[in-house]
Amino acid sequence: MTSPNERKARLGYDNLAPRTPDEFVARWKASEQHANLMADIAAYDSNHSSKDRFEAFQDSIRAERIKLCLWRGWKRLVADPEFTLSSLIFNIIVLTLYTQRRVIEKHNQYALYYQSAEAISSYITELPYKITNVFTFNSILYFMANLNREAGPFFFFCLVSFLVLLAMSGIYRTMASLVRTSHRAMVPVTLVTIGVMMYAGFTVPTAYMQGWSRWVGYVNPLSYAFEAPMANELHGRQFLCAGLVPSGPGYDGLAISGRTCAVVGAVPGSNMIDGDRYIEQSFGYFNDNKCRNVGILCAYVVVFFVTYIITAEYAKPPKSEGEVLVFRRGKVPSVMDQNALADEESQYRNTTLTEKVTAVPTEEKSEKRPRPSECDKPIFHWEDICYDVKIKDQDRRILDFVDGWVQPGVITALMGASGAGKTTLLDALAARITMGVISGDTMVNGQATDRSFPNRVGYVQQQDVHLDAMTVREALEFSALLRQSAETPREAKLAYIDAVIELLDMSGFVDAVIGVPGQGLSVEQRKRLTIGFELAARPQLLVFLDEPTSGQDSQTSWAICDLIEKLVKSGQAILCTIHQPSTMLFARFDRLLLLQCGGKTVYFGDIISKNAQTMIDYLERNGALPCPPDASPAEWMLKAITLSEDGPNWYEIWRSSPEYREVKNELGLLRQQGQDKPITKAADDDVANQEFASSFWTQFVQVFVRTAKHFWRYPVYIWSKLTLTILLALHIRFTFKSDNSLQGLQNQLYAFFMCLTTVNEFSKQIMPMFIPQRALYEVRERPSRVYRWTTYFLSNIAIEMIWNTIAAVVFFFCWYYPAKFYRNTTPEGVTVRGFTVFLFIWMFFLWVSTFSQLAIAAIETADLPSIPGSLFAILCMLFCGVGVIRADLPAIWSDFMYWVSPMTYLGYHSQPHSTVLDILRQSAQAT
């Protein structure tokens, strides 16, 4: 009744029966049964009001939900500690929260727990790691930096660090809960991160903050966190002055009363500097504010913890749009209107119910077909296939001497219990396995397969993995242009796409955007596209299908089997794994390869007789219990071959059976005829040994175009990048006042240095964008030899280079000229100096892009590579010579890290006033 392809109206009701979903709903609501149902529901609600009891129940289990979430969080922490560790470094917690969001929202929709309960549990679960991290990090930093070695100052330093860690964690968590995507979240997160760093009181002392932005220092948690440890460290301490004035020949013998120290806070006639006086005059800090600042930090921790809980609770997932087809502009099929797009059943509103879309007609299968050795088409066959892997220093056999063949026009089913090695056998035959040891022979008409074999077969995976921003036609064209023979003209490849579209009945959605599961193509349409992607490659030999009906309903499974049978009727050879099919589905296969656990063959032969009687007779003849008349042959077969101590050894039975000897004889004939039959592989050895069908340049062009479309159709990433670039440049420029003074020159130095600190934030925008394309490459396109890995990386680098070039131009004009850096050179050198600075800004953006891709290339998720990426970026910033000049760095850093840090060259040579850079650095150290 729910399928427009299958339902039929009773005779005489063609014009009376409902046809569209809306008509079915209207007919149901107008029925007597609907009225009776609503009356029964109303009567039950009035007699058994459960509202009060439900609210009481919710209140009673609120604490229990938090407890269970805490228990789960602890188990997750123990089992997967790197997931929690990734949230301890700066704002990486933002990416971590987005990784968990879908699961939490789904559980909330299932009424398992409130999202606030998970927020509380995740916050508490991370406290042990945060405490450990604070004491570990601060112990190393505190004592190696030779800070005040007393117990009180040390523990106070750790306390302040812990409070500011909690406060900033609450800020980042709140932002992640407010914004739906990580790309959008990085804009406010970056602005806040850079803002709290600039207004902490170090890069811009409090007295030099511009009046319009002074309020930022008052609301900045880091400003209080910076003042407290400074006062904690310098209170009550005296420091020997390292540089007295006047000094030099003739002055060194003067009495101290005639000389003074050049450091802020010095007293004339004294060579000692009081710590309290120094921080008071340099920063406006006082020791009496320590306890006040700790209290303010505690208040920040509580406030942002509460805001995080509130935002997490009310952060609802976007409403599901359903499987609504979205077409390219101007490509909507003329036969479909907007209502039809929302429901495929509406496409049948203009047809009568008796005009059912017919499936592939099921013809009576012939029990006589040519033997493989008598077939005039290429036959793929294999013999004695074994696969061994090493597990815990022990060899384990996954496949054990498997034989068989696949014949054009025949559907061969590969079946077995879970763990029997069905998918492994497909991977081994398709040359997709990259680990372990495979032995045996795979041949085409008696000739061994070569490196070009993967290009001559299609492999339809169980997962429907596609790039969501592409259209169906673009995906098919991508496969055809890269996987068909390079000798085939481009026009012929594109024309073949139309034949594939017609064969798979995809004309109604060929220009639709693929989308993600649940939004875009339906499950059946995605499976058709997956099959079409392989057919577009024009496989010469056969198509492998890995459980195409797994997870599908009966109607979708039947439609997919119709499609497979259609392919077979067109002359295609099919080897298909299938898991527990129904009786009707099982009857649609021609031949069966049955495996049991351990990859051992139980049966290989025909099942085309009525109700699979050939296979049933074989099993019953060799000890299986009789198959009941009403039983499903597939289910009975799997139960019959289940291993048991007192049951028959089906592997040995098969190896000693006449059916096995017949299979080996047929394989021997195929091998013997290999020298006499026409060569089915490429005649030219160079072509036969080509791993890829297309040239490097063709691959690069096609992958580049597809990547460009993917970026262009994902505007959230582009707009987030450009918005972040503009706001960040203006934020830095209007923070640092660049007047003609020593402080103004120092502000210019730190204005550029703060630009370098954005490497982490730009990286966190790039990394999530890299994940979908890499997943597609690793899961489908690399095993299928669609294109080289170098092509993949170069195309991504090139696309990022284009957008980062635009970002560099925008950043330069929003930062360089408003900051009036052009005034730091002679009038005739303004253009040259400005262009030089732009080149270094450009190089910085390109370096961030390639550095981000390097960090994430070998790691599965976007949050984990941020750990080594952030570490390297911090090392580059620390030892580039801005915060600490090279002369003051330890030898290991000054002789190595200083020179390998890209920021050393970006920070020095791109300064608009590099001629006075050394003076600025020394003055920065002094102040």
Domain assignment present for 46: no
| Alpha-carbon dihedral sign for residues 467, 472, 476, 477 | negative
- Rounded Cα distance between 924 and 926, Å, is 5
Percent of the chain whose pLDDT exceeds 90: 20
Contact 574, 545 (CB under 8 A): yes
Q: Which residue has the higher pLDDT, 560 or 387?
A: 387
- 379: tokens are 């036959």
Q: Residue 723's closest CA among 803, 787, 794?
A: 803
Q: Does 298 lie in the same domain as 157? A: yes
Q: Does 725 lie in the same domain as 673? A: no
Q: Which residue has the higher pLDDT, 583 or 781?
A: 781
Question: Is the pLDDT reported for residue 295 higher than 90?
Answer: yes
Q: What is the pLDDT of residues 675-702, one digit of tens each?
A: 665 554 444 555 556 788 889 999 999 9
- Rounded Cα distance between 520 and 59, Å, is 40
Confidence at residue 403, expressed as pLDDT on a 0 to 100 scale: 93
- Rounded Cα distance between 163 and 169, Å, is 10
Confidence at residue 642, expressed as pLDDT on a 0 to 100 scale: 78
Domain assignment present for 690: no
Q: What's the CA angle centered on 644, arms 640 and 645, to 5 degrees?
A: 145
Q: What is the pLDDT of residues 873-924, one digit of tens each?
A: 888 888 887 777 788 788 878 888 888 888 888 766 555 444 444 444 444 4
Q: Which residue intervals of 644-714 are DSSP H helices?
A: 650-655, 658-672, 685-688, 696-712
Q: Residue 703's closest CA among 771, 765, 773, 769?
A: 773
Q: Does 583 lie in the same domain as 458? A: yes
Q: Does 201 lie in the same domain as 116? A: yes
DSSP character at residue 777: I
Taking residues 644-656, report their average pLDDT. Answer: 81
Question: Is the pLDDT reported for residue 704 higher than 90?
Answer: yes
CATH of the domain at 411: 3.40.50.300
Domain assignment present for 897: yes
- Rounded Cα distance between 46 and 41, Å, is 9
Q: Does 631 lie in the same domain as 709? A: no
Half-sphere exposure of 862 (CA within 13 A, CB side): 28
Domain range for 756 is 696-926
DSSP labels, 574-625? EEEE-SS--HHHHTT-SEEEEEETTTEEEEEEE--SGGGHHHHHHHHHTTPP
Q: Does 89 lie in the same domain as 209? A: yes
Q: Does 676 lie in the same domain as 706? A: no
Strand order in the sheet with 573-577: 447-448, 437-444, 380-391, 394-406, 600-606, 591-596, 411-416, 573-577, 542-546, 457-460
Q: 6-26 burial string, b = 16+ CB within 10 Å, else e?
A: eeeeeeeeeeebebbbeeeee
- Rounded Cα distance between 499 and 51, Å, is 60
Q: Quickly tell me which residue has 């559980």 as its tokens.
A: 107
Taking residues 804-821, report their average pLDDT. Answer: 86
Confidence at residue 347, expressed as pLDDT on a 0 to 100 scale: 44
Taking residues 664-670, report their average pLDDT. Answer: 89
Domain assignment present for 518: no
Question: Is the pLDDT reported for residue 791 higher than 90?
Answer: yes
Q: Does 732 lie in the same domain as 603? A: no
- Rounded Cα distance between 872 and 157, Å, is 25
Q: Does 868 lie in the same domain as 751? A: yes
Of 648, 682, 716, the position where a domain reaches its end is 682
Q: Which residue has the higher pLDDT, 923 or 569?
A: 569
Confidence at residue 185, expressed as pLDDT on a 0 to 100 scale: 81
Phi, psi (deg, nearest 5) at residue 676: -95, -25
Report residue 51's pLDDT band, with 50, 70 and 90 as the boundaries. low
Of 273, 291, 314, the position where a domain reaches its end is 314
> Helix or strand or coil: residue 14?
coil
Cα dihedral: 6, 10, 16, 20 (round 10) = -10
Q: Does 625 lie in the same domain as 589? A: yes
Question: Is the pLDDT reported for residue 362 higher than 50?
Answer: no
Contact 524, 556 (CB under 8 A): yes
Domain assignment present for 102: yes
Q: Does 708 lie in the same domain as 678? A: no
Contact 166, 129 (CB under 8 A): no
- Rounded Cα distance between 91 and 866, Å, is 10
Q: Does 894 lie in the same domain as 868? A: yes
Domain total of the chain: 3
Confidence at residue 258, expressed as pLDDT on a 0 to 100 scale: 72
Of 621, 655, 682, the position where a domain reaches its end is 682
Q: Which residue has the higher pLDDT, 375 or 922?
A: 375
> Helix or strand or coil: residue 755?
helix
Cα 510 to Cα 44, 105, 208, 528, 566, distances in angstroms: 50, 33, 62, 11, 19
Report residue 706's pLDDT band, with 50, 70 and 90 as the boundaries. very high
Confidence at residue 910, expressed as pLDDT on a 0 to 100 scale: 54
Confidence at residue 799, expressed as pLDDT on a 0 to 100 scale: 94
Report residue 523's pLDDT band, with 50, 70 and 90 as the boundaries. confident
Confidence at residue 917, expressed as pLDDT on a 0 to 100 scale: 46
Domain assignment present for 809: yes
Confidence at residue 746, expressed as pLDDT on a 0 to 100 scale: 75
Cα 687 to Cα 449, 690, 692, distances in angstroms: 13, 5, 9
Q: Residue 910's closest CA among 745, 753, 803?
A: 753
Confidence at residue 105, expressed as pLDDT on a 0 to 100 scale: 81
Domain assignment present for 284: yes
Confidence at residue 686, expressed as pLDDT on a 0 to 100 scale: 55
Contact 470, 514 (CB under 8 A): yes
Question: Is the pLDDT reported for residue 154 higher than 80?
Answer: yes
Confidence at residue 49, expressed as pLDDT on a 0 to 100 scale: 67
Q: Is 255 left (phi over 0), alpha (psi -120 to 50) or beta?
A: beta
- Rounded Cα distance between 588 and 570, Å, is 16
Domain assignment present for 921: yes
Question: Is the pLDDT reported for residue 16 higher than 70?
Answer: yes
Mean pLDDT of the chain: 81
Amino acid at 729: A
- 515: tokens are 């989308």
Least confidently predicted of 293-302, 407-416, 881-890 = 881-890
Q: What is the pLDDT of residues 263-291, one digit of tens each?
A: 887 888 778 888 888 888 888 888 889 99
Report residue 86's pLDDT band, with 50, 70 and 90 as the boundaries. very low
Q: Quickly tell me which residue has 């195409």 as its tokens.
A: 548
